[in-house]
Amino acid sequence: MDKLLEIKNLHARIGEKEILHGIDLSIGRGEIHAVMGPNGAGKSTLNAVLTGRPDYEVTEGSIVYDGKDLLSMTPEERSWAGIFLSFQYPVEIPGVTITAFMKAAVQARRKAQGLPEMKTPEFLKLLKEKMAFVQMKPEFAKREVNVGFSGGEKKRNEIFQMALLDPTLSILDETDSGLDVDALKIVADGVNALRSPEKSAIIITHYQKLLEYVRPDVVHVLKDGRIVRTGGPELIEAIEKQGFDQF
Amino acid sequence: MGYGNYRDPFVGRRPDHVVGAGEKLELTFVVLPGESRDIDVAIDLVGEGAEVSLKGLYLCGGEERVNFRILMHHRAGGCISHQLFNGIAGGTSRVSFDGRIIVAPDAQQTEAYQENHNIVLSEGAHVETTPQLEIYADDVKCSHGATTGRLDEDALFYMRTRGVPEAEAKVLQMISFLAAVTPEDRKEEVEKAVIQIV
């Protein structure tokens, strides 16, 4: 079967400490995978390595995304290739409006793909359409990115950006609990609405709440830097009943 | 600190600007890459209701030496002064900001504010900031704040994950950092200078 993402024997560290001790994971097109694990399992590190966060070093193994060597790509190149990371804690960018930010993102990608700049009216139409799609109030277009946003508004802004950039692989970092039900629903609705046979998603999470709204096709249990179990959605219930100690 | 410590700073020195009752003074200083400058400004607010607004912006990317020395003297009561100086130092530039606010004993109901924010882009650049506040009246609103830091790495990474190239993400962050001190008619010039030193 044609795989969108193939992780093989991935070892990664931050500083001197190895956190991932050989991860194997492959995701087919159209699939939604959940990676669940207790605190300290390596969820944040896996996420950081997938998106190219500086400071994390891959010492062994490979990641092939859509036929390309992902580890040799910069974070922006990964974005241009269709990877999107929804942040657990979206960052504030004072002085930069959502419109200016998304325009820079869209134009940079078009440039990388050898396409001409998108005309302003066309861009504004797209922006409006995607804001409406995630039920974001139009006045947010002029707000500074995430500045003074509530937790739910920040999440909605993430999903809005996801809808606008229309990724092939979405990575949702919900590593810690603390999301209220409304914010969870925003994320879930966004992911569900963007589901298609071509698009895949990884939901990295500590707890099962979000997975009540987005049913994954495959569930992986990450523990001590290794995938210790892979199965179907039935694993979610097993974790809910007996926690991570059973693995 | 008693009133006895107050000394008129304009004994033996003339102010550069004297602002009288009800008058307003607005000054903006823009220092672009390649310029070494000493900006030395002494202001005396002498009449009730005088208002002063000072803004400053610097961008250094090479071996520039830029020194700001600001003296804001509130001689009369009921006056307002605002100061905001933001700048970015790269290369092996040296920047100093020496800002002094003096509120004379009779200058009741003074409002005086001063902020100086700096971003250091390189290991070789150096910024020193020394805000000083000397208040000899008791019914005043005064504050000063100074920060010196680096570009926000988390914000840069966030922008890059959305496809904004690293250099452009830096430019966006720097332009927004300078926005509050950039005169409307010099926006383009400042933007070009930012691109130049990134």
Q: How many domains does chain A have?
A: 1
**How many CB atoms are located within 10 Å of the residue B65 CB?**
13
Whether the pLDDT of residue B1 is over 50: the answer is no
Please give the pLDDT value at position A187. Answer: 83
Domain residue ranges of chain B, discontinuous segments joined by +: 3-150
Q: Which chain B residues are closer than 8 Å to A165 by Cβ? A: 162-163
A26 lies in which domain range? 3-242
Q: Is the ipTM of this complex over 0.90?
A: yes
Is the Cβ of A56 closer than 8 Å to some Cβ of chain B?
no
**How many CB atoms are located within 10 Å of the residue A129 CB?**
11
Is the Cβ of A75 closer than 8 Å to some Cβ of chain B?
yes
Q: How far is CA A173 from CA A46, A206, B77, B87, in A?
A: 10, 10, 56, 35
Please give the pLDDT value at position A1. Answer: 55
Of A182 and B64, the structure prediction assigns the larger pLDDT to B64
Under 8 Å between Cβ of B93 and B123: no
pLDDT digits (tens, 9 = 90+) for A44-57: 999 999 999 999 99
Q: Is residue A71 part of a domain?
A: yes
Closest CA in chain A for residue B180: A95
Q: Is residue A12 part of a domain?
A: yes
- DSSP string for residues in chain A: --EEEEEEEEEEEETTEEEEEEEEEEEETT-EEEEE--TTSSHHHHHHHHHT-TTEEEEEEEEEETTEEGGGS-HHHHHHTTEEEE-SSPPPEEEEEHHHHHHHHHHHHHHHTTPPPPPHHHHHHHHHHHHHHTT--GGGGGSEETTT--HHHHHHHHHHHHHHH--SEEEEEE-SS---HHHHHHHHHHHHHT--TT-EEEEEESSSHHHHHS--SEEEEEETTEEEEEE-THHHHHHHHH-STT-
* CA distance to partner chain B, nearest, from residue A141 (Å): 16
Is the Cβ of A157 closer than 8 Å to some Cβ of chain B?
no
Q: Is residue A247 part of a domain?
A: no
Closest CA in chain B for residue A144: B176
Q: Do B158 and A90 touch (CB under 8 A)?
A: yes
**Using CB atoms, which residue from B166, B172, B177 is nearest to A104?**
B172
Q: Do B155 and A92 touch (CB under 8 A)?
A: yes
Q: Do A93 and B173 touch (CB under 8 A)?
A: yes
Closest CA in chain A for residue B178: A95
Handedness of CA A184, A190, A192, A196 (dihedral sign): negative
Closest CA in chain B for residue A163: B162
pLDDT digits (tens, 9 = 90+) for A64-88: 999 999 999 999 999 999 999 999 8
At residue B185, the 3 state secondary structure works out as helix
Is the Cβ of A79 closer than 8 Å to some Cβ of chain B?
yes
Find the helix packing angle between A98-112 and A120-133, rounded to 10°: 120
pLDDT digits (tens, 9 = 90+) for A158-183: 999 999 999 999 999 886 656 678 77
Q: Do B164 and A108 touch (CB under 8 A)?
A: yes
Question: What integer is the mean pLDDT of B83-94?
Answer: 98
Is the Cβ of A109 closer than 8 Å to some Cβ of chain B?
yes
Handedness of CA B39, B40, B45, B46 (dihedral sign): negative
**pTM score of the predicted model:** 0.89
Rounded to 5 degrees, φ, ψ at A127 are -60, -50
The rounded distance, in Å, linking the Cα atoms of B124 and A155 is 39
How many A/B residue pairs have CB atoms within 8 Å? 74
Residues 177-236, chain A, touching B (beta carbon < 8 A): none
Which CATH number fits the domain that encloses residue A7?
3.40.50.300
Pairing assessment for the beta strands B126-135 and A144-145 based on DSSP bridges: unpaired
**Using CB atoms, which residue from B152, B163, B175 is nearest to A79?**
B163
